[in-house]
């Protein structure tokens, strides 16, 4: 999943406008890592990574959708997250919808716990960042009733949304269902009825990246195995989504039964706990290691202070020039509870590092 291009000065239509959120507890002057930091050789903080329950449906292949049809579909139940990321690669206006299909003779209730939608838009980094910010900021619960032998929209607004050529739509939806329901992600003409279209629609071939499938372990808990002390440990890092220290989730492409790998862990939600020594103030940064990056983090500090921060907060993206780019998340008191919620954003490049460092004056 790559940021294919950016259009300077182009207004991007998103579900909720991208907001730039300043980091809490930050100094007035722009903070930075200690001067002598060798960011190419930061010590890795040992961590324990635990996969947690629920399924992840990933629909990102074909990313550049060349024709009408189904990009991905599977029948699921339980706790599910759907991450879809598609560009209208035709020369015509289209719509991208997610249809819930109930093939049983009993009505099904689908509870949507959290969601974020970005786009359609031509600036892919902006769309991916908007989806992340919207997801992390949204806490409403919605109930969708899917009638017996009937259908319903996971997101009704998509059926009324026109996707222009080359525009991207990116969505992240968490939902629960006790009974199996088929989830169908498809692109179709703007005037087509999705209920009729799905009856004849064909599954589109995957592209060379094959970023689609259903995966177990939609969440990942990360806890360091030692307490961080800024005076003794200096600058340390936690690497995410590199497939070495943090492996990619493997699953099955339900459209053909083949094995698939989620390169980048798109849609996986990370909960990172940072145990630190008392009386030692420290700073937290996000450092992109793979190129251009535009996302968001949710910070929960002292069990009650919650803030969603754009990464970076003061501009759309960073990481295009050097791996030395960092986004300051905040300065924090040691010994206090700090949780970070992170997920690889659509259109951005990976891996990333979370950096812990002494506070610079």
Q: Give the pLDDT of residue 361.
A: 67
Q: Give the pLDDT of residue 38.
A: 83
Domain boundary pick from 168, 186, 213: 213
Q: Give the pLDDT of residue 20.
A: 37
CA 204 to chain centre: 23
CATH code for the domain of 229: 2.60.120
Domain check: are 345 and 267 in the same one?
Answer: yes
pLDDT at 166 over 50: yes
Of 67-71, 111-115, 275-279, 353-357, minimum mean pLDDT range: 275-279
Of the candidates 125, 149, 143, the residue with the CA atom closest to the CA atom of residue 296: 125
Domain check: are 256 and 334 in the same one?
Answer: yes
Domain boundary pick from 164, 190, 213: 213
Domain check: are 241 and 319 in the same one?
Answer: yes
**pLDDT: is 15 or 233 the higher one?**
233
Q: What is the total count of domains within the chain?
A: 2
Mean pLDDT score, 158-181: 98
Of 152-156, 238-242, 271-275, 278-282, minimum mean pLDDT range: 278-282
Domain check: are 79 and 184 in the same one?
Answer: yes
Mean pLDDT score, 269-289: 94
Q: Give the pLDDT of residue 8.
A: 29
Q: Give the pLDDT of residue 102.
A: 97
Domain check: are 110 and 130 in the same one?
Answer: yes
Of 36-45, 67-76, 141-150, minimum mean pLDDT range: 36-45
Domain check: are 274 and 316 in the same one?
Answer: yes
Q: Give the pLDDT of residue 259.
A: 96
Mean pLDDT score, 242-248: 95
pLDDT > 70 fraction of the chain, expressed in percent and rounded: 90
pLDDT at 295 over 90: yes
Q: Give the pLDDT of residue 323.
A: 67
Mean pLDDT score, 31-36: 75
Q: Give the pLDDT of residue 7.
A: 34
| Residue 187 forms part of a structural domain | yes
Residue 128: phi and psi, rounded to 5, are -65, -40
| Residue 29 forms part of a structural domain | no
| Residue 24 forms part of a structural domain | no
- Please, which pLDDT band fits residue 32 given cuts at 50, 70 and 90? confident
Domain boundary pick from 192, 213, 234: 213
Q: Give the pLDDT of residue 13.
A: 37
Domain check: are 153 and 164 in the same one?
Answer: yes
pLDDT at 215 over 80: yes
Q: Give the pLDDT of residue 152.
A: 98
Q: Give the pLDDT of residue 324.
A: 77
**pLDDT: is 169 or 28 the higher one?**
169
- Please, which pLDDT band fits residue 23 given cuts at 50, 70 and 90? very low
**CB–CB of 286/353 below 8 Å?**
yes
Domain check: are 96 and 198 in the same one?
Answer: yes
pLDDT at 30 over 60: no
- The domain of 116 spans 55-213
| Residue 30 forms part of a structural domain | no
Q: Give the pLDDT of residue 70.
A: 98
Q: Give the pLDDT of residue 39.
A: 82
Mean pLDDT score, 307-313: 95
Domain check: are 204 and 327 in the same one?
Answer: no
From residue 163, how far is each of 5, 91, 120, 169 by CA, in Å? 17, 11, 6, 8
Q: Give the pLDDT of residue 33.
A: 81
Domain check: are 45 and 139 in the same one?
Answer: no
Q: Give the pLDDT of residue 74.
A: 98
Domain check: are 185 and 279 in the same one?
Answer: no
| Residue 138 forms part of a structural domain | yes
pTM of the full predicted structure?
0.90
pLDDT at 227 over 70: yes
Mean pLDDT score, 184-188: 98
| Residue 1 forms part of a structural domain | no
Question: pLDDT of 117-162, one tens digit each?
Answer: 999 999 999 999 999 999 999 888 999 999 999 999 999 999 999 9
pLDDT at 10 over 90: no
Mean pLDDT score, 323-340: 92
**pLDDT: is 87 or 12 the higher one?**
87
| Residue 140 forms part of a structural domain | yes
| Residue 43 forms part of a structural domain | yes
Domain check: are 236 and 146 in the same one?
Answer: no
- What's the CA gap between 269 and 338, in Å, rounded? 16
Mean pLDDT score, 331-339: 95
Q: Give the pLDDT of residue 138.
A: 86
């Amino acid at each position: 999943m790559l940021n294919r291009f950016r259009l300077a000065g182009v207004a991007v239509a998103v579900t909720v406008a991208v907001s730039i959120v300043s980091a809490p507890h930050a100094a007035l002057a722009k903070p930075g890592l200690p001067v002598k930091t060798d960011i190419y050789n930061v010590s890795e903080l040992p961590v324990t990574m635990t996969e947690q329950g629920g399924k992840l449906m990933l629909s990102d292949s074909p990313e550049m959708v060349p024709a009408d049809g189904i990009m991905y579909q599977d029948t699921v139940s339980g706790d599910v997250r759907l991450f879809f990321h598609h560009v209208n690669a035709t020369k015509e206006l289209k719509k991208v919808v997610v249809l819930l299909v109930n093939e049983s003779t009993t009505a099904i209730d689908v509870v949507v716990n959290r969601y974020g939608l970005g786009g359609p838009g031509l600036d892919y980094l902006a769309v991916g960042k908007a989806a992340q910010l919207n997801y992390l900021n949204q806490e409403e619960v919605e109930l969708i009733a899917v009638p017996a032998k009937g259908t319903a929209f996971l997101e009704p607004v998509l059926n009324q949304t026109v996707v222009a050529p080359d525009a991207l739509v990116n969505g992240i939806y968490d939902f629960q269902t006790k009974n199996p329901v088929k989830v169908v992600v498809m692109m179709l003409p703007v005037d087509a009825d999705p209920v009729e279209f799905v009856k004849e629609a064909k599954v589109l071939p995957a592209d060379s990246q094959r970023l689609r499938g259903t995966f177990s372990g939609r969440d990942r808990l990360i806890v360091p195995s030692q307490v961080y002390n800024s005076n003794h440990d200096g600058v340390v890092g936690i690497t995410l989504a590199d497939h070495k220290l943090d492996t990619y989730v493997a699953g099955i492409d339900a459209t053909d039964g083949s094995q698939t790998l989620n390169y980048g862990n798109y849609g996986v939600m990370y909960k990172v706990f940072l145990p630190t020594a008392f009386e030692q103030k420290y700073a937290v940064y996000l450092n992109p290691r793979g190129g251009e990056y535009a996302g968001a983090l949710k910070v929960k500090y002292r069990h009650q202070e919650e803030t969603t921060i754009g990464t970076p907060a003061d501009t759309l993206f960073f990481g295009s020039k050097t791996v030395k780019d960092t986004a300051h998340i905040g300065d924090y008191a040691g010994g206090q509870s700090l949780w970070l919620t992170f997920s690889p954003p659509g259109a951005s490049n990976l891996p990333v590092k979370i950096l812990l460092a002494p506070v610079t004056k």
